[in-house]
Amino acid sequence: MPEVFKAQAQYGDWVGDAHADDADLAGIRAWIADQGLLKEGETVVGVKFYAGAHDFISIKALVVPENTYDTSKAYIDAKRAQGAIPLRQVDLALTAAEFLRHFKRFSVVLGVRGLLQVGDEYEPQ
C-alpha cells in the first residue's frame, strides 16, 4: 500500500512545516553512505523522522536507484506520472540527538489545529 510523503500524527493537534540545512562535513546523506547503507548507484532523496510515546523513534532514509540529483529527479518525475514512486526505505539506527547533529540548522514551526498556518505573518510582542 502506498504511503504519502507528509508529516502525520495520530490526532493532528499540531500542523506545520520543517526545513533543514546539511551539516558541513557530516550531513545525513554522507553519514548514510559512510555507514554502507546504500547500494551502488543509489541516492538518498528523503528522510522520515517519527517520535512517539515511550521514547519510540523511527528514522528512515528514502532512496532511489539513481546516483545524481538530475537522474534522481528524472526518475521521480517519471514514476510520479505513473502513480506511487518506488522508494527503498532504509532504517537508520540513530537517536533523535544524533539525527539532528547531521544538520547545521533544523527549523520546525507548528500551529494548533490550523489556527496559525505556514506563511502567516505575525508581530512578536
Q: What is the DSSP string of 31-100?
A: HHHHTT-SPTT-EEEEEEEEE-GGG-EEEEEEEES-SSHHHHHHHHHHHHHHSSPP-EEEE----HHHHH
Confidence of residue 25 (pLDDT cuts 50, 70, 90): confident
User: Across the strands, what pairs with 46?
Assistant: 62
Threshold 0.75, pTM exceeds: yes
pLDDT digits (tens, 9 = 90+) for 87-112: 999 999 999 999 999 999 999 999 99
**Which three three-digit cell numbers place residue 50?**
517519527
Mean pLDDT computed over 50-57: 92
Residue spans of the domains in the chain: they are: 14-112
